Amino acid sequence: MVIFDIDGVLADASARQHFLKGVRPDWNAFFERCHEDPLIEEAARLLHVIDGRYPIVLLTGRPISVMDLTISWLGRYQLRWDLLILRDYGDYAAARDFKARETARLREAGLVPVLAFEDDARNVEMFQANGIPCVYVHSGYY
């Protein structure tokens, strides 16, 4: 499988970053506007040229409450994907821990990660520490 993050890799979330500034980031507002993001064209093209033998797993820190918005956004841009993993209700683990846990679950299910695309250097480090080559995509958010 090939793993893609969404925000900052496939979706340009720069117009939502202001919700995360200040003393108390407004994560709800940040995620509720996810369907308004423009597509990052180069990443979408890359996703589509990956050999079809490799399942595409979208592993995102987005909460499950925006699953419908996310699926609608993916459909609008006709993005290829086989599995979408979002955070379950009440999951407030650090993104690094959430993605490490979900990647381990995928491995337990028999999927073999061969490559990941990520815009958070902490997650890139986590993938690499777990033996998964990871391409760092500079979103400018971190």
User: pLDDT per residue over 36-50, tens digit each?
Assistant: 999 999 999 999 999
Torsional class of 90: left (φ above 0), alpha (ψ -120 to 50), beta (otherwise): left
CA distance 111 to 77: 26
Q: Tell whether 122 is covered by a domain.
A: yes
pLDDT in tens, 49-107: 999 999 999 999 999 999 999 999 999 999 999 999 999 999 999 999 999 999 999 99
pLDDT confidence bin for 141, thresholds 50/70/90: confident
The structure tokens 């180069």 sit at: 42
Number of domains, the chain:
1
Range of the domain at 21: 2-136
CATH number of residue 109's parent domain: 3.40.50.1000
Q: Tell whether 126 is covered by a domain.
A: yes
Q: Tell whether 142 is covered by a domain.
A: no
